[in-house]
Structure 1
Amino acid sequence: MSTLYRTTLALCCLASLLPVGASAADPEQPAAAAEAPASPAPRPPLLERSQEDAQALERRVPKAEQQTLQAGTDSFLALWKPANDSDPQGTVIIVPGAGETADWPNAVGPLRHKFPDVGWHSLSVSLPDLLAVSPQARVEASPATEAKQDKGETAPAKDTPADANANVAQATAADADAAESTDAVQASDQNDQADAERIFARLDAAVSYAQQHNSRSIVLIGHGSGAYWATRYLSEKQPPQVQKLVMIAPQTPARVEHDLESLTPTLKVPTADLYYATRTGDRSAAAQRLQASKRQKDSQYKQLSLIAMPGNKAAEQEQLFRRVRGWMAPQE
């Protein structure tokens, strides 16, 4: 009986294991486990800072003043105020500097609001973010380099030869450095050209919009680095529709092909260069631009000094407006 009991007990144990085996052999189970989780939806591209600023302006500025202009594949915000006059003088196109909006409280906004009261349309544009000054992507280390670093190994320095082929290694490293430097210069030049083309397209669109309103005269007014781009636009493209240029506290952006000192003598239109005489850096840069203009025959370049009034911004902006208008008035 004991043998029969043991045999029966073994059969019962085997029977109890059968469902587990069958379940493991179920072909649908591995397929379900192997299903990969759904991939997350791709994130929309981040807006440029200038686009975010434009959206903020759209919420704050009256809709009647907002104009969406088209520059190639780009659409951008411009602020338009018609002249409060039955016979307008023309249009001032105001170009803000880096980090500024089309209604910036220093120079840009006050001028766009004041000029319509003296018979001028005002059109203030917004510029795109510059590729030339955008953060550069970090170069990732190769897997082999990362493996060596994980093991605590480091490459020999160029000035400490590690073997008999040191001279060849150093020469190769120097060539690599030169190649990297050349690539960096080429990339910088390409970014500069791309920035110029994109900004010029916006200024072309602004000039075209001003012409649609029968502007007898068009004056380009640039503030900060906006003065640089306005100057370069007139120097390189020489649009016949623009008769005058006003530069206010002009600045040359970083990593561009030409500086203001080299561009100023190439201008073919009457130009007013307004700088703050109380700021040492501005005064020194203005002196260099003035010297460069004197080397040009029949130059129509003129400098006007301003006085900074940190404690009275309203008076400072009124001073600026009067100086700009006073320079324009004899030529109207």
Structure 2
Amino acid sequence: MKSLLRRASLKTGLTLAALALAGGSWAQSFPQRPVTLMVPYPAGGVSDVIARTVNTVLGKHLGQPVVVENLGGVSGAIAAQKTLSAPADGYLLFQGSPNELILSPLANAAVKFKSEDFRLLQMISVAPLAVIARADLPVSNGDELAAYAARMAREGRPLTYASVGPGSFYHFMGEHMSHTLGVPMTHVPYKGAAPAFTDLMGGQVDIFITVFGKAQLEMAQQGRLKFVATLSEERLEGLKQVPTLRESRALKDFSYKIWTGYFVRKDTPEPVVQVLYKALTATLSDPAVRAGLEAQSQQVSRPLSLQEAAQAYTDGTAQFRALAKTIQLQPQ
């Protein structure tokens, strides 16, 4: 018996040693080819701009090019599912947020993955949100928006709001606003922010509760769309003339923001995770990356440890699942 135990112990020790050596070798060899950065929306939106601000510097830290791939549809769930269908080898990095990975599975019955199928490696930025409207919408603050929505509902022409698809964060915000105001509003889904803004400027949809960047600020300056209010706690630098919803009576508790981070499949080997995490953290500290993100109205995140990132993702999942219950959202 003792002999058998010694042999078993020796075998286990050799196995663990082999795994450790393999892990070390894996970490030293990864990556050996270009890494794909999956963006779950079409080119031209804020998410795409973030990726193209990050990818070149990230590639320098990884020692291999980082190629951006855009794949829109189903509130980002198509790109998320493609990430899960690829090997868990670190060569497909997903740029995501609560929008695609937490909310989409709650609202869309066709989405079969769970938030827990992904692992957050690092946050990159936190984005303020605003209610952006067609240029001729006759409102300029939260209370006027509430009154207009109520009048349109009484007339049988509910206020329309854009999103990047059913179950998206922006869909949640629209449904939450409708629930808060107690008036019906009509959801108009798009495959991404770029086509949503095109229709907003064309007057085909009334409002879009969304993140924004330099392009949208320029469109507002040109009179092509209108910033009605922000969802921030205080007025934003560079948008001091735009009130917050917290300043209104009807929507005084309507304050939200959304973050963007980088994910891999949860079963990605730890040595690969460590390589990606180190490169992402270094990228986050790069002055050019920070300046590029700030130019898009992004608030650059402080670097998180892997443990902090895991906790932030867990907390975010719990928060939005609770919100889904509050607005009685049912998968469709």
TM-score bracket, normalised by the shorter chain, equals under 0.3
**TM value normalised by structure 2:** 0.25
Which structure has the highest strand share of the two? Answer: 2
Q: Which has the higher contact order (CA 8 A, sep 6+)?
A: 2
**TM value normalised by structure 1:** 0.25
Indicate the structure (1 or 2) with the bigger Cα radius of gyration: 1
